[in-house]
């Protein structure tokens, strides 16, 4: 485990031009947190570069049998902020669906983001959610439950 931590840290430092990398091994996955300046290009538009880097690390790590759990990368708290924003939007839209008594369609999003919303809104007794359409237009529809107003 120590060897893979060193490899991951060195790789991220090289890609991110020597910025600070912290590794958290307390959860089910290895979490790499990167902080520093000028990391926008590593994050990429909508976090796509960060996701690609994460996918490459996981693929190589598992093929070489260096990883026994997934690696997640968060650069400048981008992922955390994005999840917080997604959750906030989902709650606002769920309340809107309830108050207006009609279904609300959210913007297209990836499977990971949809899973977060489905799990969050499953706790609401007044709405139900479904994913509709095909990629890349797959989105969540929030339905109010009749009589929940």
Here the CATH number for the domain that contains residue 118 is 3.30.1370.50
pTM of this prediction? Answer: 0.79
Cα dihedral 11, 46, 85, 72 in deg (nearest 10): -20
Question: Which among 37, 53, 76 is the end of a domain?
Answer: 76
Q: Are residues 63 and 89 in the same domain?
A: no
| 17 vs 39, residue with greater confidence | 39
Asked if residue 9 belongs to a domain, the reply is: yes
Q: 68-109: per-residue pLDDT in tens?
A: 888 898 999 999 999 999 999 999 999 999 999 999 999 999
Has residue 4 got a pLDDT over 80?
no
Q: Are residues 70 and 98 in the same domain?
A: no
The CATH number given to whatever domain includes residue 39 is 3.30.300.20
Asked if residue 138 belongs to a domain, the reply is: yes
Look at the chain and report how many structural domains it folds into.
2
| 13 vs 50, residue with greater confidence | 50
Q: 115-137: per-residue pLDDT in tens?
A: 999 999 999 999 999 999 999 99
| 63 vs 13, residue with greater confidence | 63
pLDDT of residue 32: 85
Q: 18-77: per-residue pLDDT in tens?
A: 677 888 877 788 888 888 888 888 899 989 999 998 998 889 888 888 788 888 989 999
Contacts of 33 (CB under 8 A, 6+ apart): 21, 22, 23, 24, 74, 75, 77
Residue 105 domain boundaries: 81-144
Q: Are residues 10 and 70 in the same domain?
A: yes
Q: Are residues 120 and 140 in the same domain?
A: yes
pLDDT of residue 14: 79
């Amino acid at each position: 485990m120590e060897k893979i931590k060193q490899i991951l840290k060195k790789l991220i430092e090289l890609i991110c031009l020597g910025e600070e990398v912290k590794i958290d091994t307390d959860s089910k996955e290895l979490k790499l947190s990167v902080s520093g300046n000028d990391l926008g290009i590593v994050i990429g538009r909508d976090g796509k570069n960060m996701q690609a880097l994460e996918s490459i690390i996981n693929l190589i790590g598992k093929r070489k049998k260096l990883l026994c759990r997934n690696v997640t990368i968060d650069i400048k708290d981008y992922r955390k902020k994005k999840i917080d924003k997604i959750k906030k939007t989902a709650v606002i839209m769920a309340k809107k669906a309830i108050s207006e008594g009609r279904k609300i369609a959210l913007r297209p999003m990836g499977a990971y983001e949809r899973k977060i919303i489905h799990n969050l809104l499953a706790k609401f007794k007044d709405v139900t959610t479904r994913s509709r359409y095909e990629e890349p237009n797959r989105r969540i529809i929030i339905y109010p439950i009749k009589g929940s107003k």
